[in-house]
Amino acid sequence: MAPPLATVGIASIGEMGLGIAKLLSAHNYRVLTNVSSRSDSTRQRAQSASIELLESDQDLVAQADYILSIVPPRDAFGTAKRFTDAAAGDVRDKDKEPLFYVDLNAISPSRARTLENLLKNYPMMRFLDGGIIGGPPKLHDGSWTKPSIVVSGPQSLNDAPISGQHLANTLNTKHIADTIGPASGLKMCFASTTKGLTAIAIQSFTTAHTLGVLDDLQEHLKVYSPKTGELAAKGLVGMPPKAYRWVDEMKEIAETFHTEGGFDRDMFDGVSEVYRFVADETSLGREKTEDRKVGKTPEDIARLMGQGLERKKEKVE
């Protein structure tokens, strides 16, 4: 068997991280993660994907050629700080090639530039701004479906010295700019159209249910805007287990549209509140993750949202 192409560290092993780890392992990459503070279930999930389990960030910095950060938006800076702190201990062999730190989180361009400023103090590290558009990689009938990974920064992943071109192709990356920010910005702009539509659908379907006209709304969508109806229904059914993660992502979109586009934050701060309500104040958010993956209908979503809003109203009164 040929030796691994490169060593890739992943932080952390959620649904997307696990999918990318499986993809890389299947293409002969050595994949690592730090599980020092993770649960037994996370350890088992990582082992099922042939991921090597390390007990410290220092070990990961010492051994990896690349680190892919795939965490909730609120944890993006803290995760980068963890690895720069680890790198400050001179744990990496000075003869090794630079360590590429690729942030693939749903953050604003301004936050990405904050990470750039953090990492530029570490000459043994290279920073790339990235965004993932689409679902986790999956193997089906012998072939992989992959998300699009857009990347920007002064150095292309394609030109990285250790398996760079192969890794870029395996991950389905596209280098879109030579500065930090455009990749995160593209991710934010894309997510606003998909998750923004779902937030509108949550309010529309819930209000229609309360008025007793949900069936009529769906019928009119089928006749006059069938694609919108299909996208709304699909978004509603897939939304509940992800709503808690989207709370901060919507805030990052609000920041992007304000700082980069010149708009007020109000619209997507409001969208963030919609998802916070789903996650914190409805039974959709309180169910166990494995139960939430069982497909509910748009009618179920509207009904449960209505119940949550009624409870909120009763508390106010």
- Residue 65 is classified by DSSP as S
pLDDT in tens, 152-210: 999 999 999 999 999 999 999 999 999 999 999 999 999 999 999 999 999 999 999 99
Give the pLDDT confidence score for residue 182 in this predicted structure: 98
Residue range 239-254: mean pLDDT, rounded: 95
pTM of the model: 0.93
153, 179, 205 - which closes a domain? 179
Give the pLDDT confidence score for residue 202 in this predicted structure: 98
Buried-exposed string 215-233: b where 16+ CB fall within 10 A, e elsewhere: eebbeebeeeeeeebebbb
> Do 237 and 195 fall within a single domain?
yes
> Do 294 and 213 fall within a single domain?
yes
Structure confidence at residue 239 as a pLDDT band (50, 70, 90): very high
Q: Quick check: 293 pLDDT over 70?
A: no
> Do 88 and 123 fall within a single domain?
yes
22 domain-assigned = yes
Give the pLDDT confidence score for residue 8 in this predicted structure: 97
128, 163, 179 - which closes a domain? 179
Residues 60/33, Cβ–Cβ less than 8 Å: yes
> Do 124 and 196 fall within a single domain?
no
130 domain-assigned = yes
| Domain region containing 36 | 7-179
Q: What is the mean pLDDT of the chain?
A: 93
> Do 142 and 222 fall within a single domain?
no
Give the pLDDT confidence score for residue 1 in this predicted structure: 57
pLDDT in tens, 101-116: 999 999 999 999 999 9
- Residue 142 is classified by DSSP as T
Q: How many other CB atoms are found less than 10 A from the CB of residue 317?
A: 5
Residues 109/184, Cβ–Cβ less than 8 Å: yes
Separation of alpha carbons 189 and 280, rounded Å: 26
Find the CATH number of the domain harbouring 137: 3.40.50.720
> Do 103 and 229 fall within a single domain?
no
The closest alpha carbon to 71, from 132, 154, 149, belongs to 132
> Do 97 and 221 fall within a single domain?
no
Q: For residue 149, what are the β-bridge partners? A: 132, 173
Q: How many other CB atoms are found less than 10 A from the CB of residue 262?
A: 7
- With pLDDT > 70 as the criterion, what percentage of the chain qualifies? 95
Give the pLDDT confidence score for residue 46 in this predicted structure: 82
Give the pLDDT confidence score for residue 279 in this predicted structure: 94
Sequence-separated contacts (24+) of 137-141 with Cβ below 8 Å: 137/19, 137/20, 137/22, 137/23, 138/19, 139/22, 139/26
> Do 87 and 222 fall within a single domain?
no
Give the pLDDT confidence score for residue 38 in this predicted structure: 66
Q: Quick check: 278 pLDDT over 90?
A: yes
